[in-house]
Amino acid sequence: MPTIISSDDRQRYQEGEGWRIVTIADAEAIGAPVMVARHWFFEPEALGPLNTHGDSEQLLFVIKGSGQALVGAERLPLEAESMLWLEPGDDYQFQAGLDGLEILQGYTSGAIK
C-alpha cells in the first residue's frame, strides 16, 4: 500500500555539534517493517558521529555539498550526486567540506547499531 509521510510526521532528530539527522521513515513512523530513510545535514567542516553499520547493506546519496566519508581506515571523497555503498559491519563517519554536506541514507530496518 502506498504511504506518504509529510514533513509534519518527521519529528525524530539526532543532533550534535554542527550536524543533525532527521529520520524520514522507519517502522515506527509507518507502523510496519520498512526501509529506513534519514536525512543528514552538516555545517561546513563539521564532523559527524561514528556509526557501526549493522546487518544489512546501506546506500547513501550526497544531495549537495562535499566532504569525506571515513570508512574504517579509508577516506573517500564525497561530492554532490555521488553515492556511497556500505556493507554490513562497516564503521563510518562523515566530515563536511567548506560548503557543508547533505546526505540521504537508506537501509533496511535493524541496520544501525
- CA dist 71 and 52 (Å) reads 10
Whether 45 shows a pLDDT value over 80: the answer reads: yes
- Domain span at residue 37 reads 11-108
Q: What is the predicted pLDDT for the residue at 9? A: 62
CB atoms within 10 A of CB 41: 20
Number of domains in the chain: 1
Is 5 contained in some domain?
A: no
- CA dist 67 and 25 (Å) reads 25
For 41, the enclosing helix (H) or strand (E) is strand 35-42
Is 1 contained in some domain?
A: no
Q: Which amino acid is at 13?
A: Y
Whether 113 shows a pLDDT value over 50: the answer reads: no
Residues 49-107 pLDDT 10s: 999 877 788 999 999 999 999 999 999 999 999 999 999 889 999 999 999 999 999 98
Overall pTM surpassing 0.85 (yes/no) = no
